[in-house]
Structure 1
Amino acid sequence: MTVFSIVPRPESVQRGDGEFPLDAATRIVAAEHLVPVAHWLQSALRPATGLALPLAQDADRAITLVRSDDLGSEAYRLDCTPSGITVAGGDPAGVFHGCQTLLQLLPPAVYRRAFVDDVQWAVPAVAIRDTPRFGWRGMMLDVARHFMPKHDLLRLIDLLAMHRLNTLHLHLTDDQGWRVEIRRYPKLTEVGSWRHESQLGADPDAGNDGRPHGGFYTQDDIREIVAYAASRFITVVPEIDVPGHTQAAIAAYPELGVSGEPREVSPRWGINVNVLNTEDTTVEFFRGVFDEIMDLFPSQYIGVGGDECPKEQWRVDERTQALIRERSLAGETELQAWFIHQIGVHISARGRRMYGWDDLLEGDLPADTVVASWRGMTGAVTAARKGYDVVSCPDDLVYLDYRQSELPDEPIPFSIPLTLADAYSFDPVPSDLGPDEAGRVLGGQANLWTENLDSPRTVDYFAFPRLCAIAEALWSNGERDFAEFEPRLEEHLHRLDALGVEYRRRTGPMPWQTRPGIPGKPSERAEWAAFIDGLVANIRPS
């Protein structure tokens, strides 16, 4: 292994002479404000090395953690000589990222959770300078379609941190489940957190599996998840999807629906016609929901979804049409924008920023709204030109639930093939934006929807190694070359092996990663592009 197998790629790496061995005499030296990072580094190094690595005020042979005012936010500098290691950061996050790189300079066995007695623990002499390209480097995980237990979510947070990702966007609610405890509305989890069965496969005609599925995070769970992520300098961004994708909430409280009739938590995938009514009482209900969400999540950004809201029920409902007239709105599209605006104003009043999918661009938004561009890059261009900040997450490059090849044994093949090379080519900044508009792009994220991903093992298969490629696209500055990335990734996969990540092999799925007999819904690229073009017709720049 060489130092050049670091993922994501640092800005500069200069190899020196010799190495610094870790042994019983090695100490960690850190100022008080960096002690939490030092404790994390101890926890990362101790299991495999068996070394105590105690904290010290000073030491001759040490890993020294320092803050440096000449470095920017999240940037770091790592210098290793035969006499010691210094990790300097522009802030504690930068020091933490430098410590992640330090781990990658050691043999991959350092990631094992028990003592390894046949490895020489030594860091090669090296000088590394590194700074992130983007401030938003994220992943969206859908825990509504298939719930991810807390233990596995914490493991995923560690994997995000390993790859210098700093944002975890949690899609907490949808038609198929409500995953966060709201104490003033207990039925949201008593009723809405489980469904009696699930659609098995991606084809609309697929049958159901007959197996109940559910789960939710208590408020104590959420506090733990948020704190665990924060200790790894990851912000957890919550999303409560409104006014569509809400059948689980309607199942819990039927009065939230247009008809007021009882509904079940949906066992089927796809866009659901059952949406919220827009009564003032419903707006007030969700203000209460978002108040508890904002109490739980300190994130500056609060997700409201706003995507794929069918208007059929509103068009034929007399009460909804009366509300449109009373509010002097032009129609159902403006009604959706009105609803979102009420929530957005409430979020802004709490000092937070509304964050939602690019469907929001079909209406007027609060000025500080952040738009996630998922239907290609049209939303990113439109939002930036309208003065909104942008997170780029185009489906054709970063939707990790899409099939990974044309091979017939890809598990439940959905949509277009999105290969490792495709993911590596991701650039969050649309080429046709000017410099000022490009500055509106906060960064990007991978999105992982879980209709067909029913276990953490399956999440591993779909996320990795494509997430490694996307992490590099979001972190690394300068030109990127997939041919240069591939050999570094091959070394990096040994680290994922040590961690037990069940990633997709270059040759395709292992036998137990296939899903024979379960229908998918593959698409050709031209067919899919035409479909997406149709979806963005209402938000194209003028």
Structure 2
Amino acid sequence: MDLIRTGLIPAPRAVLLDEDGRRFPFGPEPALDAGPGTGSVARWMRQELGAATGWTLPAAGAGAGAGAGAGTGAGAGAVAELRLRLDPDAAADRGPESYRIDIGEDGAELTGATTAGLFWAAQTLRQLLGPDAYRKAPLPGRTWSLPYAAVADGPRFGWRGMMLDVARHFTPKDGVLRYIDLLAAHKLNVLHLHLTDDQGWRIEIRRYPRLTDVGGWRARSRRGHRASPLWDETPHGGFYTQDDIREIVAYAAERHVRVVPEIDLPGHSQAAIAAYPELGNTDVVDTAALGVWDDWGICENVLAPTDAVLRFYEGVFEELLELFPAEVSPFVHVGGDECPKTQWKASPAAQQRIRELGVDGEDGLQSWFIRHFDGWLAERGRRLIGWDEILEGGLAPGAAVSSWRGRAGGIAAAEAGHDVVMCPEQQVYLDHRQADGPDEPMPIGYVRSLEDVYRFEPVPPKLSPEAAAHVLGAQANMWTEVTQDRSRVDYQVFPRLAAFAEVVWSCRPAPEERDFAGFEARMAAHYPRLDALGVDYRPPGGPLPRQRRPGVLGRPIEGAPPNV
């Protein structure tokens, strides 16, 4: 009951509220006592909580934290109503991202095992302050208080992520920064950016300017999925400059979110081939005639298996590694998925390469690509991760797997000693429709409701304990073929991302034992937070009239039951 009363999402490990319902009322200008090593969290609190409350949170005076009532004034000698502390010894027992919050008659003390744990404590504090703590300016006459409480918490998984596809429909930089804040508000700590695909190349590579000058733009876009006869004739595109990327990475790091860049190869590469035709299979395709693809699906135009193509992408990755420092982005995603082999089968040059390399056919060529970059990245202190197709033809020794085609790939990889991020399409693809009714906008794939996502279990029960230890965590994937703007992305992502966040942070019971009714009760307190953040989520009762897209076809799975 204490958990429901707090409305906290994701649920903490333990929460205890005062039986008498007492609350600590903040004074008009609370002081902040930031202990050693807590400066970054103090800076975030002054920026974010300060905007909503009007507080400046001045540093507490000498002797702060020794106890005082509410309403103490700021300035010299002011007693802290908020205190930040680090307790590194707690990391060994409760994990590096663990934290405690203690709220009593002298205010609130937040203690983290690391600065990451302390930051998650600050996110919990913000939730306890109420939905107006998420606004960008204070409301007139607003007063602030916290319930007397003790919270002890820490995450289940170290990889708690969301993939945002910015290649199919471009998300401007401010939108990416906004999603970093939304992830952090839900204690998610990985943003996987899908930066390149057939329909667009979204990152500046200075030695190859045509990747964005040409590859960053397409002439038109299909409106709806592949069955739709509708087209948007407006050219679409955009890209992030290298300074944009540096800003995104730094902004995320301040919020303890790691950014994982994805440069897709050897498939999903038509935008790159349109920019540099020599990258394609020129002996079977007139690659000079190709443009950036304007349709959705799996494209036949893939990279040629040549040393020149390897050198080209090494140049891409050299610039990429400079933008994503190892200490904040140790993983680099290379895609490796949905690579049709038709052109390689028809290409004399590709067939000759198979013989030269002594690999097992076209699958061996794909594995050759992945193994090359696995070694290349490892030599530079990075780890390769790719979609589960990288298992085809043999898994690169140091590679990790994003298991998207169900759990089988992740199970096979984990049992072979490879690390795995679980993101099965059937359960955590947020572009899939949320209900089976006709009002869902451009419905895609499986029906996956809020409860379906809440009952997702990242660790398959058949895994041995040794293999289960290789499950780094999970991520929810948001593909953007039919989500062309911020509102449409919001609608697909929320509120299901809140359920996913609880799965990867705190859900330990078997899926059928989880208290979904309790989660729904806490969501009643969470929807006003999303409102204050300006999130255009799907309401519990279904889409609003403005959220529907009548007459625009999606991609329901033929013959599938509503919840398959």
TM tier, smaller: over 0.9
Secondary structure of residue in 2 paired with 1:446? strand
Q: Equivalents in 2 of 1:366, 1:203: separation in Å?
A: 34
Structure 1: stretches of 5+ with no match in the other structure: 531-542
1:217-271 per-residue CA deviation (whole Å, 9 max, x = no partner) reads: 0000000000000000000000000000000000000000002622100000000
Structure 1 pair 57–281 and aligned structure 2 pair: CA distance change class (3 A):
farther
* Counterpart pick for 1:66 among 74, 79, 85: 85
Structure 1 pair 323–57 and aligned structure 2 pair: CA distance change class (3 A):
farther
| Partner residue, 2:60 | 56
| Partner residue, 1:6 | 8
Q: Equivalents in 1 of 2:545, 2:414: separation in Å?
A: 45
Structure 1 pair 13–173 and aligned structure 2 pair: CA distance change class (3 A):
same
Query: Counterparts of 1:379-418 in structure 2 under 5 Å?
Result: 379-418=409-448
Secondary structure of residue in 1 paired with 2:42? helix
Output the amino acid matched with 1:4: T
* Counterpart pick for 1:457 among 487, 497, 507: 487
Q: Equivalents in 2 of 1:114, 1:248: separation in Å?
A: 42
1:429-454 per-residue CA deviation (whole Å, 9 max, x = no partner) reads: 01100111100000000000000000
| Partner residue, 1:139 | 162
Q: Equivalents in 2 of 1:471, 1:529: separation in Å?
A: 21
Output the amino acid matched with 2:553: P
* Counterpart pick for 2:42 among 34, 38, 43: 38
Q: Equivalents in 2 of 1:477, 1:393: separation in Å?
A: 16
Structure 1 pair 124–528 and aligned structure 2 pair: CA distance change class (3 A):
closer
Cα distance, 1:525 vs structure 2: 7.2
1:359 and 2:382 correspond? no
| Partner residue, 2:347 | 317
Contact persistence 2:370–2:396 (CA under 8 A): no
Secondary structure of residue in 2 paired with 1:391? strand
1:505 and 2:539 correspond? yes
Q: Equivalents in 2 of 1:61, 1:146: separation in Å?
A: 47
Cα distance, 1:416 vs structure 2: 1.3
Contact persistence 1:23–1:51 (CA under 8 A): no
* Counterpart pick for 2:455 among 425, 439, 444: 425
Cα distance, 1:330 vs structure 2: 2.1
Cα distance, 1:490 vs structure 2: 1.3
Q: Equivalents in 1 of 2:507, 2:563: separation in Å?
A: 29
| Partner residue, 1:255 | 278
Contact persistence 2:52–2:137 (CA under 8 A): yes
Contact persistence 1:415–1:524 (CA under 8 A): no
Q: Equivalents in 2 of 1:371, 1:26: separation in Å?
A: 47
| Partner residue, 2:69 | none
The number of residue pairs the alignment matches comes to 530
1:152 and 2:209 correspond? no
Cα distance, 1:340 vs structure 2: 1.2
1:164-211 per-residue CA deviation (whole Å, 9 max, x = no partner) reads: 000000000000000000011110001000100001111335332111
| Partner residue, 2:524 | 490
Q: Equivalents in 1 of 2:131, 2:113: separation in Å?
A: 27
1:101-142 per-residue CA deviation (whole Å, 9 max, x = no partner) reads: 000111211111112123320011000000100000000000
Q: Equivalents in 2 of 1:360, 1:330: separation in Å?
A: 14
Contact persistence 1:416–1:525 (CA under 8 A): no
Structure 1 pair 378–525 and aligned structure 2 pair: CA distance change class (3 A):
farther
| Partner residue, 1:286 | 313
Q: Equivalents in 1 of 2:57, 2:562: separation in Å?
A: 54
Structure 1 pair 167–57 and aligned structure 2 pair: CA distance change class (3 A):
farther
Output the amino acid matched with 1:20: F
1:489-526 per-residue CA deviation (whole Å, 9 max, x = no partner) reads: 11101100111100000111111111112111112574
Secondary structure of residue in 2 paired with 1:66? strand
Query: Counterparts of 1:222-371 in structure 2 under 5 Å?
Result: 222-259=245-282, 261-262=287-288, 263-298=290-325, 299-371=329-401
| Partner residue, 2:556 | 522
1:47 and 2:81 correspond? no
Q: Equivalents in 2 of 1:489, 1:470: separation in Å?
A: 13
Structure 1 pair 528–255 and aligned structure 2 pair: CA distance change class (3 A):
farther
1:481 and 2:515 correspond? yes
Contact persistence 1:137–1:471 (CA under 8 A): yes
RMSD across aligned positions (CA): 1.6
Cα distance, 1:477 vs structure 2: 4.5
Structure 1 pair 330–363 and aligned structure 2 pair: CA distance change class (3 A):
closer
Secondary structure of residue in 2 paired with 1:265? coil
1:182 and 2:212 correspond? no
| Partner residue, 2:142 | 119
Runs of 4+ deviating beyond 3 Å: 524-530
Q: Equivalents in 2 of 1:287, 1:492: separation in Å?
A: 45
Contact persistence 2:360–2:393 (CA under 8 A): no
Q: Equivalents in 2 of 1:363, 1:82: separation in Å?
A: 63
Structure 2: stretches of 5+ with no match in the other structure: 65-78
Q: Equivalents in 2 of 1:9, 1:186: separation in Å?
A: 47
Q: Equivalents in 2 of 1:416, 1:2: separation in Å?
A: 30
Greater shift in the superposed pair: 358-367 or 520-529: 520-529
Secondary structure of residue in 2 paired with 1:208? strand
Q: Equivalents in 1 of 2:149, 2:559: separation in Å?
A: 44
Q: Equivalents in 1 of 2:367, 2:164: separation in Å?
A: 25
Cα distance, 1:40 vs structure 2: 0.3
Contact persistence 1:73–1:90 (CA under 8 A): yes
Q: Equivalents in 2 of 1:118, 1:522: separation in Å?
A: 50
Q: Equivalents in 1 of 2:519, 2:403: separation in Å?
A: 26
Q: Equivalents in 1 of 2:155, 2:48: separation in Å?
A: 23
Secondary structure of residue in 2 paired with 1:495? helix
Q: Equivalents in 2 of 1:527, 1:249: separation in Å?
A: 39
Output the amino acid matched with 1:266: W
Q: Equivalents in 1 of 2:546, 2:467: separation in Å?
A: 46
Q: Equivalents in 2 of 1:529, 1:269: separation in Å?
A: 24
Q: Equivalents in 2 of 1:272, 1:254: separation in Å?
A: 15
Secondary structure of residue in 1 paired with 2:148? strand
Contact persistence 2:433–2:443 (CA under 8 A): yes
Contact persistence 1:108–1:495 (CA under 8 A): yes
Q: Equivalents in 2 of 1:322, 1:156: separation in Å?
A: 46
Output the amino acid matched with 1:481: D
Q: Equivalents in 1 of 2:4, 2:443: separation in Å?
A: 36
Contact persistence 1:240–1:304 (CA under 8 A): yes
Cα distance, 1:483 vs structure 2: 1.2
Output the amino acid matched with 1:93: A
Greater shift in the superposed pair: 31-40 or 91-100: 31-40
TM-score normalised per structure 2:
0.92
| Partner residue, 1:539 | none
| Partner residue, 1:533 | none
TM-score normalised per structure 1:
0.95
Cα distance, 1:455 vs structure 2: 0.3
Cα distance, 1:215 vs structure 2: 0.3
| Partner residue, 2:189 | 166
